Amino acid sequence: MSKSIPKFKNEDEERAFWSEHDSSEYLNWKSAERVLFPNLKPSTRAISLRLSESLLDALRQMANERDVLYQSLIKIFLQERIEEDFKSRHLPSSG
């Protein structure tokens, strides 16, 4: 656990390093403390998504009823569905 963490040129280099190294060789996780970052905003990336006119109209109507932007509603729907799928795949099987 006495290895020192190298200096990284960028996030991609750091990501590649940690994907191939065990952090327990560099950090003492038993002395780690949990912290919260309430103002931290996740990185975002713009994408292009083709939707049928009818689907887009339905999304806009639903968003208008909820008083949110339709792009925000799409993100909400995606997040909910991903969480639902993740939970269903990680529940202990009964049987």
Q: What is the pTM of this model?
A: 0.53
Q: What is the pLDDT of residues 54-67, one digit of tens each?
A: 999 999 999 999 99
Residue 84 and residue 59: Cα distance in Å, rounded?
20
9 has pLDDT over 80: yes
Q: What is the pLDDT of residues 40-92, one digit of tens each?
A: 888 889 999 999 999 999 999 999 999 999 999 999 999 999 999 998 887 77
In a domain, 66, yes or no: yes
In a domain, 19, yes or no: no
In a domain, 61, yes or no: yes
Domain count, the chain: 1
| Residue 74 backbone dihedrals phi, psi, to 5 degrees | -60, -45
In a domain, 84, yes or no: yes
Q: Which domain holds residue 81?
A: 51-90
Cβ-defined contacts of 50-59 (< 8 Å, 24+): none
